[in-house]
Amino acid sequence: MAVRAVGALRAVRTTRAPVTRTLIVLCCLVFAIGPAGGLNPAHGSGDALLAAQQAYFRRWGVIPAELFTGSARAALTPATALFVHGSWVHLLGNMLFLHVFGAMTEERMGRVRFTLFYTGCGYLALVGYALAHSASDQSLVGASGAISAVLGAFLYLFPRARVTSVLPFLFFLPLRLPAWVVLPFWAGLQWLAAGRAGQGPGVAYLAHVVGFGLGFLFAWVRHGGPGRRGRRPGGAVVGAGLNVTHRSRNADRE
């Protein structure tokens, strides 16, 4: 596993978006090694595997009721939770969106700034969710807060980029629409869903909303002004769907 990881990380350094590729590789490796993937026999099976998953989420995920207690370990969990996912669907959905929107955003921002932007906005998105649900003891895992920030920044930097979206309520008919139509629509759905979300296990829609807003604000402050916006991209950006998270009994997914 270690040899393969080194080889994968060497390969992504040669791409035009090495940070985006590295983040995808790291999330996939963490998932494969941890109990959520069910691939490591060391975590057992059946009830033992479920217990290992719950302990894993509580150790590395954000627990809002513990985040503001002054514990140094709890303060680090919004960073570690960005690399933990609860299922294959959760992981692949998030990585798809990161792959589609991360490369162009990274190229526009630069590697170092994009790295700080991704981790910083992801951390703050989880903290924002925890502030709104400070009594919850449900663990929160996933990179969607950070990826939502990438979507927000992409909207400001490349509003006219064409995004191919598959909408369930239109019988999964693929439509090519500009980012300024697709991404605000997606953010609006997250906002509406956040208003109906309860305290129990499920999707942390509020983290999506916070991340999206932070990403757009960052791009506006850092790249705003005449002549500073990104150029209209020549190729189409291909996306799929508008909801990349799902419910689970083990942990909130964001």
* Secondary structure (3-state) at 212: helix
In sequence order, what are the beta bridge partners of 141? 253
* Marked catalytic residue, from 139, 144, 148, 248: 144
Distance between CA 176 and CA 181 in Å, rounded? 10
* Secondary structure (3-state) at 252: strand
Distance between CA 201 and CA 48 in Å, rounded? 20
Nearest residue to 191 via CA among 179, 203, 208: 208
Q: Report the amino acid identity of residue 1.
A: M
* Secondary structure (3-state) at 166: strand
* Marked catalytic residue, from 85, 136, 208, 248: 208
Alpha helices in 35-137 (DSSP H): 47-60, 64-67, 72-80, 88-109, 111-132
In contact, 253 and 90? CB cutoff 8 Å: yes
The answer to whether 144 is a known catalytic residue is yes
The answer to whether 208 is a known catalytic residue is yes
Catalytic residues: 144, 208
